[in-house]
Structure 1
Amino acid sequence: MFKTILFDVDGTLIDTAYVMTHSLQKTLLEEMQLSVEIEDLNYILGIPGRAALEEFTADEAELEKLLKAWNKNVLLYAEHVSVYPEIEEILKKLKAAGIKMGVVTSKTSNEMKTEFDIFNLNHYFDVFITASDTENHKPHPEPIQKAIDLLSVEKGETIYIGDSLYDMKSAKAYGIKFAVANWGALDLAMFTEADYFLKKPSDLLNLI
């Protein structure tokens, strides 16, 4: 069916929900004296950090300060980041089957170095598109378009795997198929335009 699979990172390849929400909670408390419940921070999952912080300040200098503090606090929770079960095994099988694979993420290149590269999964992917590589970010189609252009593959043979509405909207905006990673998605009822629902990573094998 599909010859190219693009992946989101957070909530799709690695489980970072605890890390991102708790590190932001700590940052807001320390930097702005704001006490925010974890469930009220779930909206940040799947969007760029800068966009998440714009909910708390419109001041550019303060935003930059918050970003730096948040990035430092993320490292304090790094032990809670993990690769989802089955993911590496499935990536290995997809690679062996000749499937081209890429990463399209809202993480910056620096965030990828500290939060993703440590898991030694990079060699499975043919391209990485981060928030540092495009002017526009998800849900805009530019990140997916850039990945497809760099891979020189057909849109009709490409699918994007993600866990957020931003992921789905980005895929749909560029006109490719989208599959929900059920293991990372918070509310499956939101994905009314999804083409596939994957209960577990091994379901990816049914797409090729």
Structure 2
Amino acid sequence: MTYRALIFDIDGTLTNSQPAYARVMREVLAGYGKPFTDADAQTTFPMSAEQAMAHLGIAADDFDKFQASYEAVMAHHYTDITLYDGIDDLFSQLPNDLKIGIVTSQRHNEIDAGMAQYAIMDRMSVVIGADDTPKRKPDPLPLLTALEKLNVAPSDALFVGDSLSDEQTAAAAKVDFGLAVWGMDPNADHQITAYRFDNPLDILRVF
């Protein structure tokens, strides 16, 4: 299969952000008088903010306050987030004519703060964040929006992510899914995967 577009999730796929996420969430949840355990971190890390709030028992109508608190605390922890080993090497070897993009549940202010320092962003032809579409992953709209902007059919794209939400997004959009095993939730039961990539450089075998 020859793909014309390669789309990535960010957290748990391009960046090792779970340790920073856990530290930030503990501080945010302390403001609600709630504990945040290692098990909570593992469970909620791949979730959207709305899903995490529901899991943690925070009211949906508190979303703006919760998100603002999260972003304010995270602003002090972006330097704790790093690219996974092999990501830079992967991007240096991908075909020059391949269209590359990002589809994430992060907002653009988070993307800009956390990713602007990395040279891989120069290769991105499209970046779709949570504030670009009215629905978030696992709804297919963000991924389909990215592909529409690239003028690439779903059948000609590969979406690489680490979570069940990413897998469900790809399936709903009828896009092949590549599982980033290096960042995946070890308790997740992935069923609809075209590829399982043990490390980033494994992606090169498809291209």
TM-score (norm 2): 0.92
Contact residue 163 and residue 188 of structure 2 kept, 8 A: no
Equivalent-residue separation in structure 2 for 1:89 and 1:107 (angstroms) = 24
Aligned pairs for 1:154-165 within 5 A: 154-165=153-164
Counterparts of 1:91 and 1:49, CA distance in 2: 29
Partner letter of residue 183 of structure 2? G
Q: What is aligned with 1:84?
A: 84
Equivalent runs, 1:163-202 vs 2, <5 Å = 163-187=162-186, 190-202=189-201
Query: How far, CA to CA, are the matches of 2:142 and 2:66 in structure 1?
Result: 25
8 Å contact kept, 1:22–1:38: no
Does the residue aligned with 1:43 lie in a helix, a strand or coil? Answer: helix
Aligned residues: 205
Following the alignment from structure 1 to structure 2, what is the Cα–Cα distance between the partners of residues 117 and 160?
A: 21
SS in 1 for 2:13: coil
Equivalent residue number for residue 17 of structure 1 = 18
Q: Report the CA distance between 1:44 and its aligned residue.
A: 2.3
Deviation at 1:189, TM superposition (A): 5.4
- Deviations 1:128-155 (Å, cap 9, x if unpaired)? 1111101111111101110111000122
Letter in 2 for 1:87: I
Alignment root-mean-square deviation, CA:
1.6
Unaligned runs of 5+ in 2: none
SS in structure 1 of the partner of residue 183 of structure 2? coil
Matched with 1:73 is 73
Residues 148 and 155, structure 1, Cα contact 8 Å, conserved in 2: yes
The DSSP-based 3-state class of the residue aligned with 1:159 is strand
Asked whether the equivalents of residues 101 and 126 of structure 1 are also in contact (C-alpha less than 8 Å), the reply is yes
CA distance in 2, matches of 1:88, 1:41: 27
Compute the displacement of 1:9 (Å): 0.4
Q: Which runs of 5+ in 1 are unaligned?
A: none
Letter in 1 for 2:24: S
Shift of 1:52: 1.8
Give the whole-Å Cα distance in 2 for the aligned partners of 1:80 and 1:207: 31
Deviation, 1:188, is 6.8
Please list the CA deviations of residues 108-145 of structure 1 after superposition, one character each: whole Å capped at 9, or x if unmatched. Answer: 11111111222232111100111110111111110111
TM-score by length of 1: 0.92
Aligned partners of 1:83 and 1:174: how far apart in 2?
27
Amino acid at match of 1:20: Y
